[in-house]
Amino acid sequence: MVYKAEYLWLDGSSPSVRLRSKTKIVEDGKHPPMWGFDGSSTQQATGDNSDVVLSPVLSVPDPIRGGKDVLVLSETLLTDMKPHPTNTRAACAASSEKYGDFDTWFGIEQEYTFFEGAAPLGWPENGFPAPQGDYYCGVGADVIFGRDIVEAHMDACLQAGLHIAGINAEVMPGQWEFQIGPVGTPRAADELWIARWLLGRIAEDYGVTVSFAAKPVPGDWNGAGAHTNISTKQMRSDYDACIAAAEALGKNAAEHIANYGAGIEDRLTGLHETASYKDFSYGVSDRGASVRIPWQVARDKKGYIEDRRPNANMDPYVVTRLIIDTVCGDASK
Ligand code: ADP
Ligand code: MN
Ligand code: MN
Ligand code: MN
């Protein structure tokens, strides 16, 4: 007997990487082996030296096919078994290990926008829907678009054993959010990539596409972010460590902004619940700050902080690696 293994990997697309996948039939009782693909078709190699190696890092039950079938998230290697230049996971895993004593957890809020053709799902053929105000966490067919897909995606994430924490409808019509975590990294980033793949795959069946664009509609409409919530062991027991983490992020703001996703200047304008990409600020309950300290954390004097800057189209391996390096690096001085 055999089972189906769907291998998922990150390609070399620019300015934002995308997921690719293909299927391997594997004999029962055997683990999904190393595999490979044609890197010249994914912006990861030239045609005369096209082989890129797929090395499995996380297998989970495949909620689409069911049964014994699995999803196999893989990292990309060169044929000498070194990380491929587009492999951002290797550095993330290295930083996580280097600062392992900090036991850093991440909770990532992934916002995204459904599209049907050229317009967000639920938008009128001509013109614009009613302005923002009634869509966020709304109910009713006049404000909610795509709930079937969102529910199917949440169930799929649970069946795959991902740490999905919840979902909500967002401020712009056709826009939604799911949260992964809190969980350590690179696991948090691995799970986010699998959850992104599941979303795109499920939406296919509805003829809908998923956009992670940071500013899917220009003008007076909210962008799409990926707020990244962080805690170290120290922060989970001590408020001073939470403040120190926010201060550390402020000292390295430019490097973070440069790596938080394509088109970040269009989203972090200072309007629409963002702080300008040119400034750094943090504050309790402040959704206009770069970094927010949730009110419960200020009350309990311990917990986590929320980096509100990452774009929906960010690479979570890059973002979680940078945060670990900045926060844990500063605390180690
Ligand atoms: P909001 O929309 O108010 O910003 P959400 O409920 O969408 O908040 O997201 C909060 C996130 O914080 C969740 O993803 C959750 O996993 C994460 N989180 C909670 N506790 C911690 C913690 N100790 N460390 C890191 N992340 C955490
Ligand atoms: Mn949220
Ligand atoms: Mn949100
Ligand atoms: Mn948030």
* 3-state secondary structure at position 6: strand
Alpha carbon of 202 to ligand 3 centroid (Å): 21
Instruction: Quote the tokens at residue 275.
Output: 């702080």
Q: Could you read off the pLDDT of 67-125 as tens digits, one per residue?
A: 999 999 999 999 999 999 999 999 999 999 999 999 999 999 999 999 999 999 999 98
Every domain of the chain and the residues it spans? 2-87, 95-331
226 pLDDT more than 90: yes
Q: Could you read off the pLDDT of 259-304 as tens digits, one per residue?
A: 999 999 999 999 999 999 999 999 999 999 999 999 999 999 999 9
Residues 6+ apart with CB under 8 A from 86: 10, 11, 12, 17, 43, 44, 76
Using alpha carbons, select from 140, 216, 118 the residue that is nearest to residue 175.
216
Instruction: Quote the tokens at residue 333.
Output: 């001085």
Asked whether 229 lines ligand 1 (CB < 6 A), one says: yes
Q: Could you read off the pLDDT of 303-330 as tens digits, one per residue?
A: 999 999 999 999 999 999 999 999 999 9
CATH architecture of 95-331: 2-Layer Sandwich (3.30)
Asked whether 304 lines ligand 1 (CB < 6 A), one says: yes
Asked whether 191 lines ligand 1 (CB < 6 A), one says: no
Exposed/middle/buried for 236, CB within 10 Å: 0-12, 13-18, 19+? middle
Asked whether 173 lines ligand 1 (CB < 6 A), one says: no
The pick from 163, 179, 191 for probing ligand 1's pocket by mutation, whose C-beta has the most ligand atoms within 8 angstroms, reads 179
Instruction: Quote the tokens at residue 268.
Output: 């972090």
Asked whether 225 lines ligand 1 (CB < 6 A), one says: no
Helices marked H in 179-315: 187-204, 239-251, 253-258, 264-267, 295-300
CATH code of the domain made up of 2-87: 3.10.20.70
Alpha carbon of 46 to ligand 1 centroid (Å): 42
Ligand in closest contact with the CA of 176: 3
Provide φ and ψ at 265, rounded to 5°: -65, -30
